[in-house]
Amino acid sequence: MNKAGSISVLHVIFLSMTVIGLKNHVTIIPSLLTGAGRDGWISILIATVTIFPWVFLLIYIHKKSNQEHLTDWLKLKIGKVASTIVRYVIAIFLLILAAFTMAETLQWVSSTFLPTTPIVLLLIVYTILCILLVSTNLQTIAMVNVLILFMITFLGFFIAFTNLQVKDYRLLRPFFEHGLQPVLTSAVFPASGFVEILLFLFIQHKVKKRFKWYHFAIMLFILMGLTIGPTMGAITEFGPIEAAKQRYPAYEEWGLGSIGEFIEHFDFLSIYQWLSGAFLRVGLLLFIAADLLNMNGDRIRIWRILGPALFFMTLPLFLLNDHLFLKIKGDYLLVGTFLFMFLLSLLLGIVAFVSGKTSKKV
């Protein structure tokens, strides 16, 4: 399927590192540490092992849909009305995910680096940038991601190795400090990121070759590493109690970095990591939403509909205080994302199974 504007499987893996990696590397950690404490890293391992068999459901859907445009395939299999309902529900949910990513990113920017800059101005600027990205094509998004991801990865390894001098791995013990239940319950937080791998099925018609099971497995295990790294880092650098109190543990780790006696305060480098990661995450979520709503290639509709929708869905989130925002994100959005994506994959799996049975009978 060598179509113009298509991307390779490797590009998809790179996109998963940035788009889902931002969520699992940064935003889920406060909820994970609050729920599981020093055993948060065990929750990540449990989530990975539990989600792994689900990868084969994605491959089943991918094969049965014959790498077609998933919305066209749904329209053929379940009818125009039902497929339209599914498309709009998914698109609205993706807009909600994009709005929360945007709000959390700009709240972090406002509270750490630009406290006197009006947050509405930051929202306008960032919305324009994201819509500019969405109004291009998937190949452009993938190319931008490759350029950005190199520096994100380099900076991640840089701060991880720099902070080895302040890490105390004894803080990871005792294991199962509060029993097994908190560890199992908190596994839903990393799993809410892992299940977003499903989103790449919605761009499968733009991928040059078919997905194999190990492609999804590679994404899953890379995401596991991106999640477990900063989680263990926060615990070993700050201790489980202090790390759980921090709103942005991954950012606070940058404040500890130093080289020798005179070189320190590397936290400004985290600006690049977070802003570029959020830029790609919001951009791809909106791109998939635009594709579901048949807007891709229509820049006027994207600017008139998708841009204002993102802006006005994000704006009310700034009215929430920090405690309420974190509660909604941790208790509802993360859990809701897991349930939504998992149930959506089951729905697609059922459609694939039933359609396969029907075609055999015919």
Q: Give residue 67's region: left, alpha or beta (phi > 0; psi -120 to 50).
A: left
Beta carbons of 288 and 302 less than 8 angstroms apart: no
Mean pLDDT of 242-264: 80
Whether the bond between 190 and the residue before it is cis, its omega within 30 degrees of 0, is: no
Mean of the per-residue pLDDT values of the chain: 89
Give the residue, 255 or 274, on which the prediction is more confident: 274
User: What are the domain boundaries of the chain?
Assistant: 9-353
Per-residue confidence band for 357, with pLDDT thresholds at 50, 70 and 90: low
pLDDT surpassing 50 at residue 2: no
pLDDT of residue 356: 65
Kindly give, in sequence order, each residue whose CB lies less than 8 Å from that of residue 115, ignoring residues fewer than 6 positions away: none
116-175, pLDDT tens digit by residue? 989 999 999 999 999 999 998 999 999 999 999 998 888 888 888 888 888 888 888 889
Per-residue confidence band for 362, with pLDDT thresholds at 50, 70 and 90: very low
pLDDT surpassing 70 at residue 360: no
pLDDT surpassing 90 at residue 228: yes
Distance CA 349, CA 360 (A): 17
Distance CA 298, CA 303 (A): 9
Give which of 266, 309, 274, 234 is closest to 107, Cα–Cα: 274
Distance CA 132, CA 140 (A): 11
46-63, pLDDT tens digit by residue? 999 999 999 999 999 999
Mean pLDDT of 170-187: 90
287-327, pLDDT tens digit by residue? 999 999 998 888 899 999 999 999 999 999 988 888 888 88
Beta carbons of 152 and 277 less than 8 angstroms apart: yes
Q: Please state the pTM of the whole predicted model.
A: 0.93
CATH class of 9-353: mainly alpha
87-126, pLDDT tens digit by residue? 999 999 999 999 999 999 999 888 888 889 899 999 999 9
Beta carbons of 231 and 45 less than 8 angstroms apart: no
pLDDT of residue 249: 83
pLDDT of residue 4: 57
